[in-house]
Amino acid sequence: MKVHLIKDSEVGKDVFSEVVDLLQSINGPIEFLYDINNTIDFTEDDVEDSQVLEQKKFEKAIPPEERIYANMRPSKEIEFEFRPFKNFTFPLFRKTTKWTTIFNKCNHYRNKNNIPENEFVILLTEVSNTNNWFASLDEKMPFNGFIHTADWNHFIKCQDSFPIAYEVIALVLQKHMFIDYNEARISVHIEPIGCVNDLCLEKKNIILKLRTADVCQDCMNKLKDKLSIAEIQHALNIMDSLRVKMLFSQNLRQNVILSKLIIDDNNRIFLPDFGNIEIKLRPLEKALYRLYLDHPEGIGLSFLCDHKEELYEIYTKLSSLGALNEMKVRIDDIVNVTKNSSAEKISKIKTAFVKAIGDNLAKHYYIHGGNGEVKKVDLDRDLVEIK
Ligand SMILES: [Zn+2]
């Protein structure tokens, strides 16, 4: 089975490649294909600035039984009730497009690239859609689907790529579970039971579904004749890997033994004992992190200049970007105590770890230290493996 993932130009390349990495990280018969440079654009005619419905209007306009099928996203105002952050204001206006517009784009891509009718084309888009859905399949061509990629962070504190990758699997399973759109509408679980098919009106229900990463027996029976055992197993394995990675990122796993940190042949950083999650850093951040790993005693920012050559050597091995003199300039900036570059990089490194495994675990891995103090990585270096 092939699943082609495409995106609009507003979906960040980082998020998109994280989603692809998450889906491709588990081996199996479902193939995830993508072309990061081929983006789908929404023109002025495709979108309208619409006022977000108020909650009461939303509830009146769309009765609960209509808000079903693949993971309806409640209105922003319902989110508001469950919002995890204080002082958050909703945008009053935003771009909205019609489902037909979204699916026309899927069809266009399908035709242009000669994608057969039994392969999925799933569009990841930042543009919201009529009625505010998270994700859905196309009623007319059920191998088309979309996932709305914005706003996840109001629901669930983790990398956006986790729920988005989950939705990709959910759409693939839902396509095969139901004969048609109508069956899907009546088969959704109104009371959440932690199945991929739960109706999610509340944030906590979405988390439940992501945490259980399960398909209930009824839904599984519907799948059995339509997908091979290997395909079902593959989908479940991906869901489970997302579940494990999310548990770490949400600090739900406390008092666990710290994971090893591995830097592989391609200089990618993985935490194998935390669901093999990857910590994504840019080359310059990676170089700085490597320097701190090599110096367990720590280095104060004002002493970074003493390590300029060392840092430069690490960086040139990591990065193929740009000419050597440009690379020198970047390193000069980092070690220059009058510029803010090193502090910025250290803060980005921290964010990457916190996003991946949550603050409590991350603090053992990121570079820390107060203003003017020595900065260092606490991690026991026996846990560090550099290939
Ligand atoms: Zn179910």
Assess contact for 50 and 93: CB atoms under 8 A: yes
The phi and psi torsions of 96 (rounded to 5 degrees) equal -130, 145
What distance in angstroms lies between residue 64's CA and the mean position of ligand 1's atoms?
Answer: 18
Q: Quote the CA–CA distance of 248 and 49 in Å, as a whole number.
A: 38
pLDDT value of position 248: 75
If you measure from the C-alpha of residue 196 to the centroid of ligand 1, how many angstroms do you get, rounded to a whole number?
6
CB contact at 8 A, 301 and 375: yes
Distance 177 CA to ligand 1 centre (A): 10
- Decide if 6 contacts 38 (C-beta within 8 A): yes
DSSP code, position 322: S
Long-range contacts from 220-227, C-beta under 8 angstroms, 24+ separation: 222/176, 222/177, 222/178, 222/187, 223/173, 223/176, 223/177, 226/176, 226/177, 227/1, 227/173, 227/176
Q: Which of 195, 113, 127, 158 is nearest to 18 (CA)?
A: 158
pLDDT tens, N- to C-terminus, the chain (387 residues): 999 999 998 888 888 989 999 999 888 999 999 987 777 877 777 777 655 544 445 445 544 444 333 233 433 333 333 222 222 333 334 677 888 999 999 999 999 999 999 999 999 998 888 767 788 889 899 999 999 888 776 666 677 888 899 999 999 999 999 887 778 777 888 887 889 888 766 555 677 788 788 899 999 999 988 999 999 999 999 999 988 887 777 665 556 678 999 999 989 999 988 878 889 999 999 999 999 999 999 999 999 999 999 999 999 888 776 677 888 888 999 998 888 899 999 999 999 998 888 778 899 999 999 888 899 999 999 999 998
Q: Residue 366 has what pLDDT?
A: 96
pLDDT (0 to 100) of residue 154 = 61
pTM of the model: 0.69
Distance 300 CA to ligand 1 centre (A): 55
Q: How far is the CA of 198 from the centre of ligand 1 (A)?
A: 7
**Cα–ligand 1 centroid distance for 306 (angstroms):** 60
HSE at residue 111, side-chain half, CA atoms within 13 A, is 6
pLDDT at position 157:
65
User: What's the CA gap between 212 and 210, in Å, rounded?
Assistant: 6
The Å distance, Cα 187 to ligand 1 centre, comes to 8
Tell which residue, 267, 278, 366, has the closest CA to residue 321.
Answer: 267
* CA 214 – ligand 1 centroid, Å: 8
Residue 176 CA to ligand 1 center (angstroms) comes to: 13
Reported as a single tens digit per residue, the pLDDT across 79-121 is 333 222 222 333 334 677 888 999 999 999 999 999 999 999 9
**CA–CA gap between residue 55 and residue 81 (Å, rounded):** 10
Give the pLDDT score at 78: 32
Question: Domains in the chain, start-ordered, CATH in brackets?
Answer: 2-249 (3.40.390.10), 261-386 (no CATH)
Distance 68 CA to ligand 1 centre (A): 13
Contacts of 359 (CB under 8 A, 6+ apart): 251
**Cα torsion 60, 65, 70, 74: sign:** positive
Q: Are 281 and 366 in contact (CB under 8 A)?
A: no
Is 304 within 8 Å of 375 (Cβ atoms)?
no
Distance between CA atoms of residues 54 and 84, nearest Å:
19
- 218: CA distance to ligand 1 center in Å? 6
Find out whether 231 and 355 touch, Cβ atoms under 8 Å.
Answer: no
Q: CB-hemisphere CA count at 13 Å for 315?
A: 24
Say how many residues make up the chain: 387
Q: Report CA-CA distances (Å) from 372 to 6, 127, 299, 338.
A: 46, 44, 10, 13
235, 234, 232, 207: which is closest to 222 by C-alpha? 232
Q: Ligand 1 centre from 51 Cα, in Å?
A: 34
Give me ligand 1 centre to Cα 100, in Å.
Answer: 28
Provide the pairing of β-strand 93-97 with 47-51.
Answer: antiparallel
The CA distances from residue 237 to 29, 194, 243, in Å, are: 12, 16, 10
Cα 5 to ligand 1 centre (Å): 25
Residue bearing tokens 């230290």? 369
Residue 254's pLDDT is 57
**133 CA to centre of ligand 1 in angstroms:** 20
Rounded to the nearest whole angstrom, what is the distance from the C-alpha of residue 247 to the centroid of ligand 1? 22
The answer to whether 79 touches 145, Cβ cutoff 8 Å, is no
DSSP string spanning 200-229?
A: --SHHHHHHHHHH-B--HHHHHHHHTTS-H
From the list 162, 163, 170, the residue with the least C-alpha distance to 215 is: 170
